[in-house]
Amino acid sequence: MDFSEFLSTPITWWAAMFAVLSVLAGWIASRFAKRGVTAFLDRVPNVSPSVVRAAGRFTQYTLILLGIGIALAFLGANVQPLLAIVIFVLVVVVLVLRGVADNFAASVIIQSRKQILVGEEITVEGPDGKPLTGIIVEFNSRTVVFETIDGRTAHVPNSKMLGETFTNNSRHGARRSEVQVRVERAGTPVEDLVSAVTDAAASVTGIQNPESINVLVVAVSPERFTGRVQYWHDPQDGVGVTSRVVRAVSGLLAERGWEGTVTSDPGTPPLVPSEAV
């Protein structure tokens, strides 16, 4: 194939000069663009060096090819087939890297807003629909990594963290938990029961501000008292503190000779018999 057939117009000195300038401009712009992208990504936490290099090279080569394409256009070349190939390749790249790009962009937003930090405890929806709770150990360009309280390691895509609901359990430095107490009253005044349960919970190690312990009276009958003991603790020590509260209040019931139960997982409240007609 004759090279002259590839050109739609004769080459002039002006066209040649603009073609050379286009190539030079594309090359210079690619160098500055590569440095800018690299400098920006270096400021993003937990982005691997390989990702930074790949993004910089992709930007550089794109601008170089753009300069070459403009130069060919100045020379009168038919660049439509070349543009069609470039567009096709870009579409394929976008489709292949769409998930990676979404997670990377979400990672930048999450870490710049600082909605969650390493060392904080979060709760997200697990793959089986049940909530997963754990402590964040790592951010990367694809996922948020956290360890659950039972020793599992979970990887949540950044796009899911940005687009769905999650709970940060550590941001305020304290978390409230509660246990349910059901006691056979045997004539004991409700105020005495509340006071005794409050004192027992306040003696537990790990309770924050023991004076803020609150006993909510849920149900009272001549035979039975039901209440919820609410207390504050460190967000990452909820299980341990709750266990100690259950033991302390259970010990109180045994010491006083009161029949009852203490549980951190309240069941269905007992039914109240209907009044006789």
pLDDT one-digit tens code per residue, 208-223:
988 989 999 999 988 8
Helix axes 13-43, 49-74, angle to 10 degrees: 170
What's the pLDDT at 230? 94
Read off the amino acid at residue 276.
A
List the one residue out of 23, 95, 97 whose CA is nearest residue 65. 23
**Band of residue 44 on the pLDDT scale cut at 50, 70, 90:** low
Give the lowest-confidence range in 19-23, 52-56, 156-160, 258-262.
Answer: 52-56
Q: Do 131 and 90 have their domain in common? A: no
Residue 68 belongs to domain spanning:
3-112
Is 88 exposed, middle or buried, given 0-12, 13-18 or 19+ CB atoms closer than 10 A? exposed
Q: CA–CA distance from 117 to each of 46, 136, 171 (Å)?
A: 12, 7, 9
Q: How many domains does the chain have?
A: 3
Q: Do 154 and 212 have their domain in common? A: no
Q: Is residue 22 part of a domain?
A: yes
Q: Is residue 269 part of a domain?
A: no
Q: Do 182 and 243 have their domain in common? A: yes
Confidence check: pLDDT of 250 > 80: yes
Q: Is residue 270 part of a domain?
A: no
d(CA 123, CA 121): 7
d(CA 186, CA 164): 50
Confidence check: pLDDT of 274 > 60: no
Q: How many residues does the chain have?
A: 277
Q: Do 206 and 246 have their domain in common? A: yes
pTM beyond 0.85, yes or no? no
Q: Do 69 and 126 have their domain in common? A: no
28 or 7: which leads in pLDDT: 28
Q: Is residue 274 part of a domain?
A: no
